Structure 1
Amino acid sequence: MSVPLPAAACAADLLAWAGHHLPTPEGRAEARLLLLHVLGQPAVWLFSHDREPVDPAAARRFGELVVRRAAGEPVAYLTGSRGFWNLELAVSPATLIPRPETELLVEQALLRLPDDGRPLRIADMGTGTGAVALAIAAERPQAMVLATDLLGPTLAVAVGNAQRNGIDNVHFRRGSWYRALGRDRFDVIVSNPPYIRSDDAHLQQGDLRFEPPAALASGEDGLEAIRIIAAGACDHLVPGGWLLLEHGWDQGPAVRALLDAAGLEQVQTVVDLEGRDRVSLGRRPGRSLWD
């Protein structure tokens, strides 16, 4: 049974009410985040203001968001933003929600990009919110980063995030995978492509139910997009250039086989903080300018 929102409430009362709808520890943390979002306040505000009256309109807005979250809508879509790396990114239902494990893709790319002022060229295919492209560009301001996506509304979110974070060394281009790159070649190509099997039951669970299916699923084995990306890598990398791909926890062997078959060298898989296969990579044969 639904618990009525308190008619005259302070922050503590509203959070107690939210606990009936979001009863888990994670749910209570999400309720605090939603309340702070509605009030436009930092987290520390609650420590000294939790007994102050909350404007009734703000309380109603908070109640609406809690009910929507209880129905499964992702918090990032409710607040319209998500932190990634050291950036704050706008998100929308047109984009995949950036996740902490994708920061490993950024870390591994940066390890292969010298930080000595060289004019590097990097491509991020299927950029979504622009999370990976913008994080790399912020860390390598001398580099030119090309971020691509097939869908215009998705690319518009990424463009807005570049402006929002004051990052001006990222260029955006609409198109499907290597078609968007044209004849250009890059020192590093990164991608967090769709990699879930189209019949995977997880697509009907949790936040995934609300995210764009085309950004999640990729054929019967989840590898359709990765096959395309692996096969075309050598044609779009400079000699010695690297391809790095995020993928599912059980796809490491299959992705490494695809990178080997594409003629890449030094193929390996890097595990995430939970010890699961997360990023596979390989290098085009030849000497790079910094060898």
Structure 2
Amino acid sequence: MVLLSDNEYTIEVAIRRAAQAFEDNDLHYGHGTETALDEASWLVLHALGLSPAIEPDYTQKLTAAQIADCNSLLERRIAERIPAAYLTGQGWFAGRAYLSDKRALVPRSPMAEFIADDFYGALDGIDSPRILDLCTGGGCIAIACAYARTDAIVDASDLSADALALAAQNVELHEMQDRVELLEGSLFEPVSNRYSLIISNPPYVDAADIAAMASEFSHEPMMGLEAGDDGLDLVRIMLRDAADYLEPKGVLVVEVGNSGEALEAAFPSLEFAWLEFANGGYGVFMLTREELLAGNIK
């Protein structure tokens, strides 16, 4: 399979031809991009040694060697259905690049907007807040929180030693060793502090969605995706225990994606506040410590 021939191409033409090939081969997106054009742009620019965050000179002509480099990445994307973040070794979250590989899910969550937009005011008036990121994976949410609140101390827990090894590399990459502490264990097991904010993008995919997933998801660690028949195995524990680890008026913010309807049906005593995102995304709720206690979750 050769997507780009030895003909002269500009960057723009190479991207558009790659995008058309992606569409022709029914690729799935959602691991950092939403369209064939965005995915093709990311891969072509990476092959050329350019950042996808900086607009290139689209009229620049490619050399034969550059075309070969592009083909190598583009052909693997089609043949092996590997997400672009794993092919490039880099994912993006809240405007910053992170190391990304198969030890943890590709960085992606609408909570990037929540974090970048000053936590929607949830931490207003709190000096030196302590934040806990549950199921941190590669650490991007924890690190983004530390960037957003320079006075915050952030703890980040995960059950996977492999994911925490990747998170440690990202902590070092962003020079956050003094701000972000990584804890190994399931949810609250390694935790001994109380927090102003507990945030989590946990496994929340239900059994039906797992069975219907596109091939791209098979490259990610399944323990970061599946969460029982209704997708709520870990969220149930969070709702039961989070109040014990929150400061008064502290908040719990959790992404549950398509499992939101099942969540509301399972916990009718809780009044979930569902966050809205200007840049797209859904399925993220907020509850205060007081709301959790009033819900009397057992």
With the shorter chain as reference, the TM-score category is: 0.7 to 0.9
Change in CA separation of 1:138 and 1:80 when aligned onto 2, cut-off 3 Å: same
- Moved segments of 4+, more than 4 Å: 7-17, 273-277
Paired residues in the alignment total 276
Counterpart in the other structure of 2:219: 210
In the TM superposition, what is the alpha-carbon distance from 1:135 to its structure 2 partner? Answer: 1.1
Contact 2:138 2:167 in 1 (8 A): yes
Within-5 A mapping of 1:72-87: 72-87=81-96
2:180 is aligned, of 129, 150, 170, to 170
1:270 is aligned, of 269, 275, 289, to 275
In 1, distance between residues paired with 2:89 and 2:15? 21
In 2, distance between residues paired with 1:206 and 1:120? 40
1:38 is aligned with what amino acid?
A
For 1:163-220, what per-residue CA distance to the aligned partner results, in whole angstroms no more than 9, with x for missing partners? Answer: 2223341111111101021x32111111111111123256531532322111111001
Contact 2:110 2:282 in 1 (8 A): no
For 1:55-91, what per-residue CA distance to the aligned partner results, in whole angstroms no more than 9, with x for missing partners? Answer: x2x4333212111211321111111112211321111
Change in CA separation of 1:246 and 1:201 when aligned onto 2, cut-off 3 Å: closer
Change in CA separation of 1:125 and 1:60 when aligned onto 2, cut-off 3 Å: same
In the TM superposition, what is the alpha-carbon distance from 1:269 to its structure 2 partner? Answer: 2.0
1:94 is aligned, of 92, 98, 103, to 103
Contact 1:109 1:244 in 2 (8 A): no
Corresponding residue SS for 2:92 = strand
Within-5 A mapping of 1:122-271: 122-167=131-176, 168-181=178-191, 183-201=192-210, 203-252=212-261, 254-255=263-264, 258=267, 260=269, 267-271=272-276
Identity of aligned pairs, percent? 28
Q: Tell me the C-alpha RMSD between the 2 structures.
A: 3.0
TM-score (norm 1): 0.82
1:47 is aligned, of 37, 54, 58, to 58
Question: Rg: which structure is higher?
Answer: 1
In 2, distance between residues paired with 1:160 and 1:65? 24
1:80 is aligned with what amino acid?
G
Corresponding residue SS for 1:227 = helix
In the TM superposition, what is the alpha-carbon distance from 1:285 to its structure 2 partner? Answer: 2.8
Structure 2: 5+ residue runs without aligned partners?
25-33, 292-298
